[in-house]
Every structure is written in C-alpha cells, then in structure tokens.
C-alpha cells in the first residue's frame, strides 16, 4: 500500500466532510458574538470582550 | 483480587462521586423554572459539561465503534459528519432561542410562546410533546440495553440486575430536574474523556500505532461475524459502502437536522445564563467532541484489527465488552466501564427528565383547566420519572417490537416535526400559527409515510422529502393566513419588548399559577 498522510486517500472525502461540518459554525458564531457586543445588551451577554460571557 | 471485584470497586467509587455531585444540584431547585431549565442561569462551564456529557451517549461510545467495526468509513460519512453538522446547526438555534427575557421552559412550550401565546390549551405544544415522547421511548430503552449488556458481560451480573441497578442512578440523577443533571454532568464529562483516551491509547498501542492501523484496515478481509463472507480488500475505506448514495444522504440529514433540534439540546440552550453562553456551548463543545471522537474511531478500527470477526451468534455490539475483557487490565477496564456508564447515564437522565416534562408540563399542565401548584407539579414529575423509568427498563429486558421501529424514526421524527417550525419561527417574523401546525403535521405524516413505504422517493430520502413538504406548507400558510401578531415574534427579534408582548408571555407561561 502506498504511503499516506494521516489517512489513506480513499477515505479523505468523509473525513474532510467531517472537518468541514465541524468548522462551518465558527464564522457564524463569531458574527453572532460581534452582533451581541455591538448591541450592548447586557442581558444577552454583552460585556466588552467577544468570548467572555459577562459572568 | 478477582477482576469482578476490582471493576466493582471502581464502579462504586464512580457512583459515590456521582451521588455527591448530584446532591449539590438538589439545593438549587427552588422553583418550577429552576427544575425545568436551571432558572435559565447555567454558567459556561456547566453548560459545556452538560452539553458534551449529554451529547456523548452509549450510541457514541459503543454503538459507533460497533458500526466502524462492521461498516468502516461510511460511519464517518453518515454519523460523524451528520452528528457534527447537527452541532453546528445548533449554533443557529442557540443565537435566537435564548434571546427572550423570559425563554420557554421546554421545546414544546417554545411553539406555544412563538405561535399561540394566548391559547388556553396549545395544540402545538401537545403535538410537539407527543413527538418528544415517542422518540425518547426508543432512545432511552437503547441506552439502558447497551449499559445492561456491557455491565452484565464485564462484571458477570445478571442482565436484569444490571439494568435495574442502572435505573436507580438514572432516576436519582434526573429527579432534581436540570440542576441535578447538570451537576452530575460535571463529573460525567471528565470521566467520559478520561475513559475514551485511556481505551483509545491502549488499543492504538496494541495495533502498532496510527499508520499501522490504517494499513491493516485498508487490507482486511475479515467479515464482521465469523462464518460470514470475506470482505473485498479496501472495502472498509469506501465512502458510502453498501448503503448507497441516497440512503447515506438520508442518514446524514436525519442525523443532522434531527439532532440539531433535539429537545434535550435545546433545553441546554434555554438553560444557559445568556445568549453568549448558549452560543459558546456548541463552539467549545464541538472542539471537545471532535477530540473525543478520535479514540472512538480507534476503538472501532483498532477493535477490528484485534478481533477480526465477532464470534457467530453475537452481534457487533459485543465489540466493546470483548475489548474490555480480553485486552484491558481490570483497573483500566473498570475505569473505561465507568466512562461508558457515565456516557449512557448522562444522556439517558436528560432524556428521561425531558420525556417526563413533556407529559406533565407540556401536556397535563398545558391542557388542565385548573392551575397546578409548583411543588405538586414537581412531585408529579418525579413520580413519573420513576414510573416511566421502570416501564422503559422492563422494555429493555423484553423489548416490544415497536421499539425497533421507533428507534429508526427518532431523529427523523424530530426533524419532520420541529425543524421548520423552529428555525422559521426564530428567523422569519411572518411565520404564523397556521404555518406551524401545517408544517409540523404534514412534515411528520410525510416522513413516516414515505419512510415506511418507499424509504427513498424519486431518489430523495424520506427525511428530505418531509423537510420539503414542511417548507412548502410553512410558506403557503404564512402567506395564505394573516401575519403572526407582534406578541409572537417580538421576543426573538428585539431586546426591548412592548408591554402587550410582556403580558402575552406571562399569560402563556401561566405565571399566575
């Protein structure tokens, strides 16, 4: 069998799909967090720091 | 010291720790909202722990390795990718569902608040609750069965004793509502991770490392069961295997759409302290879960290399018990067994709680004419947790035939009932009551009908057919009937709501009881 990087090439498709569906939420969440901070609504968690929950 | 005694001691240590943590949760339960949704004040650590522990179930830690053992890489396509896409979609739900200053206490109640807050008895809440109950019956029985089988095999206890012992802790951790579930999940989430990495590390060392594992999987011809037809070399690496593309697409979307709107996960979003906490839950949670799925992958493929084929007469569910008894030192086996128990318990207790709440809160409290005092309501729910738990444990010993059918429907049922009314309701002001009823009812009927008769219709899996039906029904009815009143959508779109909306929410939540 040929040498491969991490996993054999025949299996790249499903693993790339798995990684893609995992990271796809990141831009959405960052956008939502920025919207919350911009709104300034403390009840929603706005506290001046993007990844802090204001606890 | 015998293996059973060593494993028994480790399990007892875990259960003592679990009880100590769970007890702290009982002190927080001072009101109905604290019982159902932790008072909407769960902090980030609690939320993430509750999220990952509930997410990782017996299906994840034993069912997925079994499927990898039998089917290979298609498991990644349909289940890894499907479930993780569900988690990503949860972020879309999380941003809006926690926005109101008074969120709903259950997912079925969300449909009442969003679509018919003035209804004395909400039909939507009842329909949603019935979908919740039907799916949870199968889900909980599967968790109990998996635990019973593994504990019985590894410890030598009779199966019936194992499942009833599990029931005791299941009921105990669920009986304090969301708070006891959340406190228990603090210890469960840590133990699950420890157990998975321990098991994965040992199996990986025994097969010769990551590269050697993949070389062996690429060339194995051992059938799943002894006596079966040999596999074609390389068939374990196929993207869809024997499922076929249409069926695999259906599996992916059923797992993704149904998982994204599962009642126990939306409950965690509504239980979060604020919108940001609800949003960070899937973000940090998915990172933790992604890392945990690496050892799960190793258990499946490594197990295939170590065992080759499961002995005739035993199903692939025997993979994990066989790995524990044949390849692990008793102390290590005990820790891993405790982790499996933690995974099953942390999911099943949340499901048992929300199943019981669907019956008491979403059906009985919803349709009963006279108000129910809060303390009486909580007592009824606890009694139902015990009663339903006993019934489902009996079903795990003598499973009725319909359980298997319900198990196939679980995610599909939730997707067809909830997906469109939930997402459209959160993001489209125009979506009205009639559209919600139409999309939920027609979506559910079309899913069950198409799935039972054809499974795939004109090349489209049943789950996608039902989503299409739901979407069309929602759009047609949203334009055919009047726009939803402001009191329905305002809490999900603006931070400051009007007095009429505040009053409508108070009426819908039955604040005067």
CB-nearest partner of B88 from A7, A8, A24: A24
CA of B10 vs chain A CAs: smallest distance (Å): 35
**Looking at the domain assignment, is residue B513 inside a domain?**
no
**What is the model's pLDDT at position A2?**
62
**What is the model's pLDDT at position A4?**
81
pLDDT (tens place) for every residue of chain B, 513 residues total: 688 889 989 999 999 999 999 999 999 999 999 999 999 999 999 999 999 999 999 889 999 999 999 999 999 999 999 999 999 999 999 999 999 999 999 999 999 999 999 999 999 999 999 999 999 998 999 899 989 988 888 888 999 999 999 999 999 999 999 999 999 999 999 999 999 999 999 999 999 999 999 999 999 999 999 999 999 999 999 999 988 898 899 999 999 999 999 999 999 999 999 999 999 999 999 999 999 999 999 999 999 999 999 998 888 888 999 999 999 999 999 999 999 999 999 999 999 999 999 999 999 999 998 888 999 999 999 999 999 999 999 999 987 777 666 677 888 999 999 999 999 999 999 999 999 999 999 999 999 999 888 888 888 899 999 999 999 999 999 999 999 999 999 999 999 999 999 999 999 998 765
Q: Does residue A28 belong to the interface with chain B, where contact is any CB pair within 8 Å?
A: yes
Q: Does residue A45 belong to the interface with chain B, where contact is any CB pair within 8 Å?
A: yes
**Looking at the domain assignment, is residue B395 inside a domain?**
yes
**Looking at the domain assignment, is residue B55 inside a domain?**
yes
**Looking at the domain assignment, is residue B46 inside a domain?**
yes
Residues of B in contact with A8 (CB under 8 A): 214, 218, 237
Cβ within 8 Å, pair A45-B275: yes
Contacts of B398 (CB under 8 A, 6+ apart): none
**Looking at the domain assignment, is residue B436 inside a domain?**
yes
Q: How many domains does chain B have?
A: 1
Residues of B in contact with A44 (CB under 8 A): 99, 274-276, 495
Which segments of B208-274 does DSSP mark as H helices, in order?
210-219, 245-253, 259-260, 263-271
Q: What is the ipTM of this complex?
A: 0.96
Check if the beta carbon of residue B316 is closer than 8 Å to that of residue B62.
Answer: no
- pTM summary value: 0.95
Torsion angles phi and psi, residue B117, rounded to 5: -65, -25
Question: Domain with B251 in it: what CATH number?
Answer: 1.20.1730.10
Instruction: Find the residue in A nearest to B281 (Cα).
Output: A29
Torsion angles phi and psi, residue B316, rounded to 5: -70, -15
**Looking at the domain assignment, is residue B169 inside a domain?**
yes
Least Cα distance to B150 among B3, B318, B334, B296 occurs for B318
Q: Token match 């959405």: residue?
A: A28
Cβ within 8 Å, pair A13-B282: no
**Looking at the domain assignment, is residue B391 inside a domain?**
yes
**Looking at the domain assignment, is residue B338 inside a domain?**
yes
Two tokens, residue B21: 């943590």
| B43: containing domain | 3-508
Alpha-carbon distances of A13 from A7, A9, A20, B362, rounded to whole Å: 11, 8, 10, 43
């Amino acid at each position: 069998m040929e040498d491969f990087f991490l996993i054999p090439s025949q299996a790249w498709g499903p693993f790339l799909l798995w990684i893609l569906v995992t990271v796809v939420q990141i831009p959405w969440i960052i956008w939502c967090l920025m919207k919350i901070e911009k709104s300034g609504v403390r009840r929603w968690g706005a506290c001046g720091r993007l990844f802090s929950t204001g606890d | 010291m015998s293996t059973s005694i060593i494993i028994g001691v480790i399990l007892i240590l875990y259960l003592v720790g679990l009880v100590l943590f769970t007890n702290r949760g009982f002190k927080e339960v001072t009101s109905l909202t604290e019982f159902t949704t932790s008072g909407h004040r769960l902090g980030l650590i609690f939320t993430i722990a509750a999220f990952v522990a509930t997410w990782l179930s017996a299906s994840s830690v034993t069912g997925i390795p079994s499927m990898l053992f039998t089917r290979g890489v298609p498991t990644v396509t349909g289940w890894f990718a499907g479930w993780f896409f569900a988690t990503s979609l949860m972020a879309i739900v999380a941003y809006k569902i926690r926005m109101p200053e008074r969120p709903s206490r259950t997912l079925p109640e969300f449909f009442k608040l969003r679509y018919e807050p003035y209804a004395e008895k909400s039909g939507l809440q009842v329909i949603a609750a019935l979908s919740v109950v039907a799916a949870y019956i199968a889900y909980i029985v599967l968790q109990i069965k998996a635990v019973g089988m593994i504990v019985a095999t590894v410890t030598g206890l009779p199966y019936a004793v194992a499942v009833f012992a599990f029931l005791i802790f299941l009921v105990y951790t669920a009986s304090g509502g969301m708070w006891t579930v959340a406190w228990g999940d603090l210890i469960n989430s840590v133990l699950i991770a420890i157990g998975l990495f321990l098991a994965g590390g040992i199996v990986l060392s025994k097969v010769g490392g990551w590269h050697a594992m993949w070389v062996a999987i690429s060339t194995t011809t051992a059938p799943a069961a002894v006596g079966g037809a040999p596999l074609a070399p390389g068939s374990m690496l196929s993207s869809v295997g024997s499922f076929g593309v249409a069926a695999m697409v259906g599996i992916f979307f059923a797992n993704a759409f149904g998982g994204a709107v599962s009642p126990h996960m939306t409950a965690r979003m509504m239980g979060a302290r604020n919108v940001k906490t609800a949003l960070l839950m899937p973000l940090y949670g998915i990172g933790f879960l992604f890392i945990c799925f690496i050892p799960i992958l190793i258990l499946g493929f490594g197990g295939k290399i170590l065992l080759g084929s499961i002995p005739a007469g035993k199903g692939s569910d025997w993979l994990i018990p066989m790995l524990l008894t044949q390849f692990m030192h008793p102390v290590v086996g005990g820790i891993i067994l405790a982790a499996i128990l933690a995974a099953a318990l942390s999911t099943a207790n949340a499901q048992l709680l929300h199943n019981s709440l669907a019956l008491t809160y979403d059906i009985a409290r919803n349709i009963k004419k006279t108000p129910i005092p809060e303390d009486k309501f909580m007592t009824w729910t606890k009694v139902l947790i015990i009663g339903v738990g006993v019934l489902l444990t009996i079903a795990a010993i003598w499973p009725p035939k319909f359980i298997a059918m319900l198990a196939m429907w679980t995610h599909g049922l939730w997707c067809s009932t909830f997906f469109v009314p939930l997402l459209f309701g959160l993001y489209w002001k125009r979506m009205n009551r009639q559209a919600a009823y139409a999309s939920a009812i027609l979506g559910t009927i079309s899913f069950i009908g198409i799935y039972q008769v054809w499974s795939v219709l004109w090349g489209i899996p049943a789950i996608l057919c039902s989503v299409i039906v739901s979407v069309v029904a929602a759009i047609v009815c949203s334009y055919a009937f009047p726009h939803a009143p402001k009191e329905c959508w305002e809490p999900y779109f603006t931070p400051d709501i009007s007095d009429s909306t505040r009053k409508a929410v108070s009426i819908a939540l039955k604040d005067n009881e």
